[in-house]
Amino acid sequence: MIRRREVSALEVFRAVRDRIEEVERKVNSYITLTLEAAEEAARAADDRLAAGEDPGVAAGIPLAVKDVLCTKGIRTTCGSRILENYVPVYDATVVSRLKRAGMTMMGKANMDEFAMGSSTENSAFGPTRNPWDLGRVPGGSSGGSAAAVAAGEAIWALGSDTGGSIRQPASFCGLVGLKPTYGLVSRYGLVAFASSLDQVGPITRNVRDCALLLALIAGHDPRDSTSLNVEPSDYLAALDGGVRGMRIGVPRELVQEGLTPGVRKAMERSLEIFQELGAEVEETTLPHLDYALSAYYIIAPAEASSNLARYDGVRYGLRVEGKDMLEMYGKTRAKGFGAEVKRRIMLGTYALSAGYYEAYYGQAQKIRTLIVEDFRRAFQRYDVLVSPTSPTPAFALGEKVEDPLAMYLSDVCTIPVNLAGIPAISMPCGLEDGLPVGLQIMGRVLEETTLLRVASALEVAIGFRERPKAGRGVG
Ligand code: GLN
């Protein structure tokens, strides 16, 4: 409509800005709002349209950017005190690509500190609340991104996913979230958590938006040494293929105990739909997935302990003086990092220390290889694998903060995907007690097209049109 000039970019901007003014106090989706720059971007898009120029595919579309992505001249906190006043001197590649496409960035979205968490309660800037139920978490770590889209405070959002941080919040907020194949989207300017697992991806209301946003951010970047040198596929063209004749596997290891009855029911209903649409569905086994969570909680903290060594008060962010350099380091890190980040640094440092390296890190890497092998074997037979995205719908604020293991289990179904480097999407597939439930669809390396096709078929068949309601949520 913007491109056809049925509505102006400025009108769209104002509508979303008004919504932010109405609900942001309750939801806390954003750490930093950039409404002035957004208004300017919207005006620029309108001017270009009026002049008959192409303003870009994303022109005038209000976007929320997770605060883990560097934005030139706009502070980038990663949800941490240690970066509270950090202002990057460059844009992440995904951000510069979207700027070129004419986007209107409304602000930097709230998140768990350094993307460590599943509830956005580990943010130094206060928790984000779930727009469907303000007493519940939006998921995490990209909880601000998901809540912003679900509450109408943005049309699209970018998140990052190391173990589930795009898919789980998308699932908790009734949205579509995609974790691309490792290397499809540039990590340049994405503040590193666990570099071998991190990927940037879209959080949107529907599959079509997901395909559009993915197309804008995917593609080779010489500034990221792990970026794949491949031509991205035509994601939009993939949507209408249907699932007839497809083989769909359901890994037994991901549908064990711990699923709530509503999650099980919504998943089973989705499987029936796939069958009605002409796909073959069967249970299968990927035996090493049982060890994925354990391996992840060695590998991810190990990488994090190394990546976070740079926050020492010398170059970036917070600095607390001490009588000598070591004391300055210690005081800076003690004050700047929150409890979960410290826990991860300690776990990772321990797992990498002399004498324990082979017993922990080495073993975890072997398990990772076995998981890669399990997926490779499964994808010889199946086009996609499906599972719930998370074993439960959104949980209550405060429910898991004292119990890290319970929090970690929220990602038990999503973590294997990151270890294997494959793509996966979360799709809304029903409600349990008025809260959204997500279905995870996993695919072969670089087969985002297949995921979008299956997701689109499910979207059409289910017709998920539910929205948060006023009172319990923000209507
Ligand atoms: N919840 C997982 C963790 O805390 C995954 C987070 C993520 O994907 N960034 O590590």
Pocket test for ligand 1, best of 113, 158, 162 (most atoms within 8 A of CB): 162
* Of 430, 384, 93, 89, nearest in space to 259 by CA: 430
Residues 349-391 pLDDT 10s: 999 999 999 999 999 999 999 999 999 999 999 999 999 999 9
Mean per-residue pLDDT, 456-468? 95
* Of 92, 88, 216, 201, nearest in space to 142 by CA: 201
Q: Is 66 labeled as catalytic in the residue annotation?
A: yes
Q: What is the pLDDT of residue 257?
A: 78
* Of 251, 247, 177, 175, nearest in space to 214 by CA: 177
Sheet containing strand 104-109, edge to edge, reads 30-33, 104-109, 62-66, 156-161, 199-204, 176-179, 424-432, 435-443, 384-388, 247-251, 280-284
Ligand 1 centre to CA of 222 (Å) is: 27
Q: What atom of ligand 1 comes closest to residue 160's alpha carbon?
A: 9
pLDDT at 27 over 90: yes
Domains of the chain by residue range: 9-286+373-462
Q: What is the pLDDT of residue 265?
A: 98
Tell me, what DSSP letter sits at residue 427?
A: E
Catalytic residue among 141, 160, 171, 270: 141
Ligand 1 centre to CA of 84 (Å) is: 21
Residues 104-125 pLDDT 10s: 999 999 999 999 999 999 999 9
pLDDT at 148 over 90: yes
Pocket of ligand 1 (CB under 6 A): 115-118, 141, 161-165, 193, 300, 411
Ligand 1 centre to CA of 363 (Å) is: 21
Q: Is 469 labeled as catalytic in the residue annotation?
A: no
| Mean pLDDT computed over every residue of the chain | 97
Q: Is 141 labeled as catalytic in the residue annotation?
A: yes
Mean per-residue pLDDT, 411-415? 97
Calpha distance 429→241 (Å, rounded): 19
Confidence of residue 234 (pLDDT cuts 50, 70, 90): very high
Q: What atom of ligand 1 comes closest to residue 418's alpha carbon?
A: 8
Ligand 1 centre to CA of 232 (Å) is: 26
Please give the sequence-ordered ranges of beta strands (E in DSSP) within 162-228, or none if there are none: 176-179, 199-204
Pocket test for ligand 1, best of 66, 113, 118 (most atoms within 8 A of CB): 118
Confidence of residue 256 (pLDDT cuts 50, 70, 90): confident
Ligand 1 centre to CA of 163 (Å) is: 5
Residues 283-342 pLDDT 10s: 999 999 999 999 999 999 999 999 999 999 998 899 999 999 999 999 999 999 999 999
Does domain 9-286+373-462 match CATH 3.40.50.720? no
Q: What atom of ligand 1 comes closest to residue 164's alpha carbon?
A: 8
pLDDT at 259 over 90: yes
Q: What is the pLDDT of residue 316?
A: 84
